[in-house]
Amino acid sequence: MQKHKIFVMVLSLTLIFSFSAIASAGKYNEAPMLEELVAAGELPAVEERLPDEPLIVEPLEEIGEYGGTLYVYTTAATHLWDGEIIGMEFLLGIERDYSWGVPNIVESYKWADDAKSITLYLREGMKWSDGHPFTADDFLYWYEYEFLNEEVYSWGTPAWLQVGEGTIQMTKIDNYTVRVDFPQPYSLYLNYISHAWGSQNGIAGATGVGWYGSFQAAHYAKQFHVDFIGKEKAAQMTEDAGFATWIEHYARKTTSFFGLQFYPDSVPTLGAYICKKKTIDEWVFERNPYYWKVDTEGNQLPYIDRVILRHIGDIDVITGKIIAGECDYAALSAQAHNLPLYVDNAEEGGYRVLVWRWPGNQHIELNLTSEDPVLREIFQDIRFRQAMSLAINRGEVNKILYFGLATPASYTVPPGTEYYKEEYANAYIEYDPERANELLDEVLSLKNRDEDGYRLRLDGERLTITLEAWADDPIYELVVEYCKDIGIDVRIKIETFALFVERSMANLIDMRVEGGEFNIEPGFSTLPQYYVPMQWGWTSGWGVKWDQWYQTGGTEGEKPPEKIMNLINWYKEMKLVVIEEERIELAQKILKSHADNLWMINIVTGTPQPIIVKENLRNIPAKALWTWDMARIVPFSPEQFFLKGE
């Protein structure tokens, strides 16, 4: 396959980027299940369903076979989890070599010389999953009736669309050309639309939809929008559907998951699969007959007919399904500490264990904005966080849980990235419980302990901290033991993912042990939500009220103190610079602040990530990076995965 991949600094602004190829003989093939529909007159011919120039995907190992059903699991009825294997579609793509900014939904693009606008060229003849044309009108609808509508974007302008004191403007040039203008140079826009922000709009939030999208299926969404149907009809539709407000009804009908169709009766998708059924127990997805990608021999993708996603709230039950061979693919559901268990059962279960690497950070989050004023005072004392860090035996954690494959480190980006400095990674990572105890003696003022040997808080009560989590992990027990050695009583509380999210956002969790991503590009520049308190959601852990303040534009939560405001301001500056050296300098200010202040207490980085695949699931790489920074499975084109012999 001929492929043109130009990857240069954004200052080379006059180049047009494109990705195209021509299928052999100019003829396209399709899945047998679609051939039957064409023969019955229920579907147009494949040539009529594809765009004029479909995107051509080169299979990783071999041309695949059509057919089969893939079975995967999720721990939450509101999250696709390993159902992400059905794919996510962004305006621009991420390649298998982790380069990004290559055309995907957008066929090509061109920057203006001053970097204050970018022109997007769409694929002519491309269609939504219901067969309706995908055009510039879908961008303008999102811009005019969602983004600029204060009820839809009820939390205000998302951070990624804030450009200095202004925001973006979107203009339709013709049916297949859109121009996006910025009030000042904004090269970071390319990072965003190469990831989730370049997807179809429709992530339902607490008070509306939005935050991630760049376009919407206008022909469908108009049916539920008050500006098109009027207040009276909108009110009646809302009442009939059982919602309190029109925007809640609108959110339900237009919700997608980064472009993945969420309900069988909701907005059309550009994704490889459409939702045919959704219950509390499972989702059923079938191939999208209008999907706009083909392989190098002109076979319309995807290869697999359907994906069935089953909901089981208990991760241990899913583990049992994996080792019993009842799961065709598991990644988010596969845990590193279970690697030996997976390997021991692989032959009998009929699956392969691929070991990818996760370049994120396994870390402790103490809620510095805790509702408990005594804990808040203790947590905000840098000496307490230093003591906690020095009490962790990272070498032991790495050996016991990660088989020596991870790297002990403080919270920072991984080696090899442009922002990395070794001194940041080595801050307070030595194992020194004696020094930790000395620091705690200073912090708590009182050296006396209770009858069980635990330290007392400043109010005389035992220093007890609840570590909350949504899935059990042996790292929690190790953290409990290390804390016990320095007189801190840590107690583990496991709850459902839904409750964990609810309690996180309500600022009710005082301690978490989490995995932090957004450490490499394009993730770090787009949403460094673990480094900067800016995303009020389930990832909020070390400064929840500060996250809430930022997310709500200061209307809720608490304004951060100066050191935290510095993080926010450095990031705002970093978003807008176009000179690489300036961007690196600002990023390193953020990283140095973390090294100096231990806003989070990291344990290890670069842990192994098991990827479980059935023996006949092919075209998946044996080794790769696994991270949301690279949209996890997206670079490997899951539409070209296939079930061999089915």
324-334: average pLDDT: 96
Q: Which amino acid is at 153?
A: Y
Residue 601 is predicted with a pLDDT of: 98
Range 84-109 average pLDDT: 94
Half-sphere exposure of 21 (CA within 13 A, CB side): 18
**Whether the predicted pLDDT of 83 surpasses 70:** yes
Q: DSSP 3-state assignment of 624?
A: coil
Rounded to whole angstroms, the Cα distance separating 600 from 597 reads 8
How many CB atoms are located within 10 Å of the residue 27 CB? 10
Q: How would residue 16 be classed by pLDDT, with cut points 50, 70 and 90?
A: very low
Please give the pLDDT value at position 446.
66
Strands 293-295, 55-57: pairing kind: parallel
Task: For domain 358-606, give its CATH number from 3.60.70.12, 3.40.640.10, 3.40.1670.10, 3.10.105.10.
Answer: 3.10.105.10
pLDDT in tens, 140-173: 999 999 999 988 887 778 888 989 889 999 999 9
Residues facing 299 on adjacent strands? 29
User: Residue 132 burial by CB count (10 A; 0-12/13-18/19+): exposed, middle or buried?
Assistant: middle
Task: Kindly report, residue by residue over 472-513, the tens digit of the pLDDT.
Answer: 899 999 999 999 999 999 999 999 888 998 999 999 999 999
List pLDDT tens digits, range 258-312: 888 889 998 999 999 999 999 999 999 999 999 999 999 999 999 999 999 999 9
Percent pLDDT > 90 in the chain is 80
What is the 3-class SS of 333-390, one letter each residue? CCCHHHHHHHHHHHHHHCEEEEEEEEEEEEEEEECCCCCCHHHHHHHCCHHHHHHHHH
CA distance 357 to 335: 12
Indicate the domain borders of the chain: 16-59+89-308, 358-606
Q: What is the average per-residue pLDDT within 47-54?
A: 97
Q: Is residue 422 predicted with pLDDT exceeding 70?
A: yes
Beta strand pairing status for 162-163 and 642-643? unpaired
Q: What is the pLDDT of residues 355-408, one digit of tens each?
A: 999 999 999 999 999 999 999 999 999 999 999 999 999 999 999 999 999 999
Q: Measure the CA–CA gap between 328 and 613, rounded to whole angstroms.
A: 5
- Contact between 193 and 214 (Cβ < 8 Å): yes
b/e map of 595-624 (b: 16 or more CB within 10 Å)?
bebbbbbbbbbbbbbbbbbbebbbbbeeeb
The single residue listed with the structure tokens 């693919």 is 329
Contact 229, 240 (CB under 8 A): no
One-letter amino acid of 605: T
The Cα–Cα gap between 222 and 244 comes to 19
Confidence of residue 26 (pLDDT cuts 50, 70, 90): low
- Is the predicted pLDDT of residue 431 greater than 80, yes or no? yes
Model confidence at 37, pLDDT cuts 50, 70, 90, reads: very high
What fold does the segment set 16-59+89-308 form as a domain?
A: Dipeptide-binding Protein; domain 1 (3.90.76)
Q: Which pTM does this prediction carry?
A: 0.90
